[in-house]
Structure 1
């Protein structure tokens, strides 16, 4: 049986994930909330996008790349959480989030994001994040697809 503290931690992590995905939405005239997005990460947290070969990216580099794409190629971007799975042990946690993105109002894609989280001074922060995109061979699992 889970304690009240474990349930509160899981709720806080789910809220953090929802906030992260919500910050990454923009449309013409409305920019993403990059400041809030960045605040949920520990300093130096690595990101590992779906592209291969694997290339580690900093949060700042990720923001810069998406900010440029928002001006040129991806004029609108909306991302939403489909489902999450969270496991907490003390001050560490892992979370999986199924997500759906819509680029330029027409291009829909889905994927899964994996997050490593740590709790410090009562706040959960992302220590690292990696993600992959759904394909014909690899589908978002039903427990993460809403």
Structure 2
């Protein structure tokens, strides 16, 4: 794999992650793009949310849970990528994404998403994804803070 090919793969994976986060965002007037969110996953992809004990979810179950929150406890939700670290080898990749979530236009949280991707027929798709949220007892370590593009941080 040439450096240009690797850089192209990294850009494509970063686009998948950015698209995924953007499609999951909604406001009072605009719904999330649920089909756009689901499109980047393989059919049997597994998600592992931050809640414990760990419970595997399908993409469909995750979407249904989020739809239930939209307009009830979460009137608005925005998730943006603050920085990534992507490692590619052939047709497999892992991506680490530091993100910011803004709930109800006020509550700001940061988290880390770990994404396993595979390239199939020229397109990168998500095979599995797990995430956790920063807290006072679990701050982002310096290495992950170093990935953050400060220009992308919200209000």
The corresponding residue for 1:52 is: 52
The separation in 2 between residues aligned to 1:133 and 1:20, in whole angstroms, is 17
Query: What's 1:63 paired with?
Result: 63
Report the Cα offset of residue 54 of structure 1: 0.2
Task: Give the match's secondary structure for 1:55.
Answer: coil
Distance in 2, matches of 1:137 and 1:100, equals 18
Q: What is the aligned partner in structure 1 of residue 126 from structure 2?
A: 126
Q: 1:87-120: CA deviations, max 9, x gaps?
A: 0000000000000011001111100000000000
Q: Cα deviation per residue 1:4-42 (whole Å; 9 max; x = unaligned)? A: 111100010011111011111101120001111100000
**What is the deviation of 1:3?**
1.9
Distance in 2 of aligned mates of 1:134 and 1:118: 27
Task: List structure 1 segments (4+ residues) > 3 angstroms apart after TM superposition.
Answer: none
In the alignment, does 2:82 pair up with 1:79? Answer: no
In structure 2, the residue matched to 1:142 is: 145
Cα distance between partner residues in 1 of 2:118 and 2:91: 6
Match of 1:109?
A: 109
Any stretches of 5+ residues in structure 1 without a counterpart? none
Q: Deviations over 1:65-94 (max 9, x none)?
A: 001100311010011111000000000000
TM-score (norm 1): 0.96
- 1:12 aligns with 12
Q: RMSD of the TM alignment (CA)?
A: 1.2
